[in-house]
Amino acid sequence: MSLLTQRPRALRRCSPYPVWYLPAAYAVMVATHFHPSLNLHVRHAMSGGIMIALLSFQLTHASDDPACDYAMNTVVLEWLLQHQDFSYLSRLNGTPPRWIGRGTSKDKEGRGLSEYDAMNLWQRLKWATTLYLNPRGIGWDWQVKGVPSNPDASLPRWKYVIKKLLQVVYHQLMNAAAEVALGFSWYLTLNPSAVPSMPQQTWLVTTCWSVAILYCQAFLSTHAIAALITVGTGLSSSWEWPPLMDSLSKAWSLRQVWGVVYHQCMRRIVQFPSQCIAKALGLKKGSLASKYFQLYTCFLFSGLVHLWLSYVATRKSNGEMLFFMLQPMAISVEDFVIWCYGVVVGTGKANRSWRVLGYVWVLAWFSWSLTLWVPALLEQRIQPGSPRDHIAVMRAYKRAEQFYSRQV
């Protein structure tokens, strides 16, 4: 029997998550911003206590669905890390978050609305709620780098809604195709004798890319649905919803993939602490040492976040640290090669062949590195993510089993 078809064991001695866990976690974090005059150390103690309590809760509660636990704990952990940032680190650094609206922080430097400004109850609730539901900081003075430009920012509401609806349909179709590809490729990965002319590694790579596409399409679809609903109902404006990911045409290097093309929803969470540590160590801003220190610590923090999520969902590591720590190593090699090219050929002279070579490099790198992580996610039922995705993949898996059994 395929590992994909096995129902995961419920974690021993763990109770199911209560329905109030997610909203309560959010409410507690938002509530701390209703008292901006609190002493910084008191706020830090409160923030740390909240984090320890909620993370401890994750260790003692679980469901029979690791994918569900993983997704919910991802949301809570991101909120907690944001809370440490906005409630303590940013204040300690002298840069408390400010809502500036449409524009950039350079356009409105020193302006905007911070939690220290006078607000009524509703305004403060909206301010704090928006802060934690906006991981890329759109409209805030801390908006992360790498957010794509928004071609739909000025579209009329009805045109915007129609465009987003079409995007949802497209992403769902791509999602369905990835589900079928995953079901068939995972079956052939586990049963390579079904197609002896093809090496097993081919099916494993196809499986990993199918999972990656499935994850991205689900993420993009969710983003489009949220934009459609909030803009359509007037809760937000179209400029607040720039694309989640940039064009694949820009994925000509690993640095481009991680810093430009891929979603930047975790960038603030991992980058701001890295910057604070680099500053505390006395590394000069913009120096080579600071640049690469932050590169490695960002991926270290990202690996630790994914390791925690994997552990609380399955009680084991599934290759997260290996995958994420290989990325900065590969980027360092990539930077060196690009530097050598610039020395020999000259900067600014990259031709089409060089760019094509970059695409091949990126494809080859992820075709290898994803195989170090994705199979374990499938075996532990963390992927495919939603119950609907799992059912669809299982259906495709069984069809593959029936089809190839008839070929014998």
SS3 assignment for 158-172: HHHHHHHHHHHHHHH
Residues 248-306: tens digit of each pLDDT = 999 999 999 999 999 999 999 999 999 999 999 999 999 999 999 999 999 999 999 99
The domains of the chain are located at 9-132, 157-265+318-407
DSSP state, 99?
B
pLDDT at 37 over 60: yes
Read off the pTM: 0.89
Greater pLDDT, 44 or 272: 272
Give the count of alpha carbons within 13 A of 27, CB side only: 5
So what's the pLDDT on residue 372? 96
Token reading at 61: 């509660």
Local structure of 252: helix, strand or coil: coil
pLDDT at 27 over 90: no
If you average pLDDT over every residue of the chain, what do you get?
88
Greater pLDDT, 274 or 342: 274
What values do phi and psi take at 199, rounded to 5? -65, 150
Residues 130-172: tens digit of each pLDDT = 899 899 999 999 999 989 999 999 899 999 999 999 999 999 9
pLDDT at 7 over 50: no
DSSP state, 260?
I
So what's the pLDDT on residue 158? 94
* pLDDT-derived band at 5, boundaries 50, 70, 90: very low
Among 246, 264, 222, 227, residue whose Cα is nearest residue 389? 222
* pLDDT-derived band at 349, boundaries 50, 70, 90: low
So what's the pLDDT on residue 259? 94
Token reading at 232: 């359509």
Q: How far apart are CA 311 and CA 390, in angstroms?
A: 21
Among 268, 270, 254, 233, residue whose Cα is nearest residue 158? 233
CB environment 161-185: b (16+ within 10 A), e (fewer): bebbeebbeebeebbeebbbbbbbb
Provide the sign of the torsion angle of the four alpha carbons 370, 375, 381, 383, taken in this order: positive
So what's the pLDDT on residue 348? 56
So what's the pLDDT on residue 106? 53
Q: How far apart are CA 235 and CA 221, in angstroms?
A: 19
Residues 81-134: tens digit of each pLDDT = 998 888 888 887 788 899 998 865 555 555 788 888 888 888 888 898 889 989
| Mean pLDDT of all residues in 205-229 | 95
So what's the pLDDT on residue 226? 95
Of the listed ranges 48-57, 65-74, 288-297, 315-324, the least confidently predicted one is 48-57
CA dihedral (328, 329, 330, 334) in degrees, to 10, reads: 90
pLDDT above 70 covers a percentage of the chain that reads 93
Residue 12 CB coordination number (10 Å): 7
Local structure of 253: helix, strand or coil: coil
So what's the pLDDT on residue 15? 81
